[in-house]
Amino acid sequence: MDIKSVKEGLRRLFLGRVSVKALPLWSDREDFSVRSAKRTVQVLRLRPPVSVAKAHFTAWNRGTAKGHRLELFISPPKAKGRSLALDCKVFGRKGFNRKVKVSRYIKRISSLPQMRPNLVSYVDKEKKKGIMALFYPVIEECVIKSALEKESGSLYVWYNPSCNGPPKVLCLVPDPGKRPPLAWRWL
Amino acid sequence: MPDTPILGYITVDSDGEGFRGAALVVDHRGIPLDFRYTDTVSPTRLERVLYGDALEIYVREEVILGSLLDAVEESPHIWICGDRHLLGPVSQRSKGLAVTLEGSNRNSLDEPGALSPMPEEGYYLLQVSLMGPPYRLSVLSVPDSAKAASILVAAGATMDVLEPFNRIERAIESLE
């Protein structure tokens, strides 16, 4: 029996027994809508605009600090036909002024006295007998006025700048006949 | 060695907020020949952050010292600095001799001009005057010590070579 005769036999056997019915997919017969699968890309900023302060670092003579230039590179991530937008503002700040105002004040400092500490403790015991205070060097010819500071024992002397003379030792010694019982001696 | 040495004194001080410098030049009697001081330089917070540790060096050496040394009209035989950090820059800019000088509590050395090396490199004890303690001298190089000693001893015969720093301090105080 060949396959052709088997098929014929089966067709006669089932003829009229199989009913074919139509089953609609949507009972309300809505029309199909076709939509494109293409998507659009919306770009949103993830952060506010970036501000960068640029410093002019300065290199100077000793070379301990070399200058650097601060630069900012931002490469936006690549997307098909679109890119992220980032606004970047760069502010400049100048380095220190190399010059600062210098003032002359010779008159004021010329009016200040010179201070001499009491050196009596550096004199040999034998030599300093009777000496209460000793000041050196003091130019006698130049002294306009002097003042002894009791707390520190230091002597302040005002000089006449237009005179000169040899340096001397100025001593404070007891003088019982005077009131107060002290006297100045030049050596 | 000059017969009548001229001494220069230079300081740069910081009060934590700002920096100020002063320079005083005196003759062999201690009488002022020139005195200059700078305005206070106060770096901003941003400048402190940007410059970091280099800020202090930059302000002291470049801004203040440079301006002071340019302004001073006298040329002293020696610059006596208030701080050892100033030695190099002062020596370089003035192209002259620069030292630091401090008091000490030691006993007097034999005679004026006696120079005794100390354990720290570049430091010496120097007897400047006939009476009184030796001073602590610091220099940049060994040959500088002898040069500085001769100038300071010559000046020390007629003035107290450390005293002008007091006058600078008092003058600056009177400005404030």
DSSP element (H, E) containing A88: strand A88-93
The reply to whether residue A112 touches residue B29, judged by beta carbons under 8 angstroms, is: no
Cβ neighbourhood burial of A182 (10 Å; 0-12, 13-18, 19+)? middle
Q: For residue A70, is pLDDT > 60?
A: no
Q: For residue A27, is pLDDT > 60?
A: no
Mean pLDDT of B150-164: 95
The reply to whether residue B37 touches residue A106, judged by beta carbons under 8 angstroms, is: no
Measured distance CA(A61)–CA(B63) in Å, rounded: 12
Q: For residue A148, is pLDDT > 50?
A: yes
Residues of A in contact with B36 (CB under 8 A): 102-105
Cβ neighbourhood burial of A111 (10 Å; 0-12, 13-18, 19+)? exposed
Q: How confident is the model at residue A138 (pLDDT cuts 50, 70, 90)?
A: very high
Is the CB of A62 inside 8 Å of chain B's CB atoms? Answer: yes
Note the pLDDT of residue A122. Answer: 86
Nearest-by-CA chain A residue for B58: A60
Q: What are phi and psi of A157, to 5 degrees?
A: -125, 135
Q: How confident is the model at residue A9 (pLDDT cuts 50, 70, 90)?
A: confident
Mean pLDDT of B144-157: 95
B84 within 8 A of A121, measured Cβ to Cβ: no
The reply to whether residue A104 touches residue B36, judged by beta carbons under 8 angstroms, is: yes
Q: What is the pLDDT of residues B30-83, one digit of tens each?
A: 999 999 999 999 888 888 888 888 888 888 888 899 999 999 999 999 999 999
Q: For residue A26, is pLDDT > 80?
A: no
Q: For residue B107, is pLDDT > 80?
A: yes
Q: What is the pLDDT of residues A102-124, one digit of tens each?
A: 888 888 899 999 999 999 988 88
Is the CB of A154 inside 8 Å of chain B's CB atoms? Answer: no
Is the CB of B105 inside 8 Å of chain A's CB atoms? Answer: no
Before A137, cis peptide (omega within 30)? yes
Is the CB of A61 inside 8 Å of chain B's CB atoms? Answer: yes
Instruction: Determine if residue B171 is left, alpha or beta; phi over 0 gives left, psi from -120 to 50 gives alpha, anything else beta.
Output: alpha
| Interface pTM, i.e. ipTM | 0.87
The reply to whether residue B32 touches residue A109, judged by beta carbons under 8 angstroms, is: yes
Q: Which residues of B34-52 are buried (b: 16+ CB within 10 A; e: fewer)?
A: bbbbbbbbebeeebeebbe
Note the pLDDT of residue A62. Answer: 44
Q: How confident is the model at residue A8 (pLDDT cuts 50, 70, 90)?
A: confident
Note the pLDDT of residue B76. Answer: 97
Measured distance CA(B98)–CA(B137) in Å, rounded: 11
Q: For residue B26, is pLDDT > 50?
A: yes
Count of A-B CB contacts under 8 Å: 126
The overall average pLDDT reported for chain B is 92
Chain B interface disruption, residue of A51, A52, A100, A140, most B CBs within 10 A: A100
Note the pLDDT of residue B124. Answer: 96
- Identity of the amino acid at B43: P
Mean pLDDT of A133-143: 94
Which stretches of A32-128 are DSSP H helices?
A: 106-110
User: Rounded to whole angstroms, what are the CA distances from B41 to A98, B9, B21, B138?
Assistant: 11, 20, 9, 28
The overall average pLDDT reported for chain A is 76
Mean pLDDT of A36-41: 76
Q: For residue B100, is pLDDT > 70?
A: yes
Is the CB of A112 inside 8 Å of chain B's CB atoms? Answer: yes
Q: Which of 107-166 (B) contact A at CB < 8 A?
A: 108, 129-133, 156-160, 163, 166
Q: For residue A83, is pLDDT > 60?
A: no
Residues of B in contact with A62 (CB under 8 A): 57, 61, 88-89
Closest CA to B17 of B49, B46, B41: B41
**Torsion angle of C-alpha atoms B14, A152, A139, B75, degrees rounded to 10:** -10
Mean pLDDT of A146-157: 93
Instruction: Determine if residue A18 is left, alpha or beta; phi over 0 gives left, psi from -120 to 50 gives alpha, anything else beta.
Output: beta
Q: For residue B147, is pLDDT > 50?
A: yes
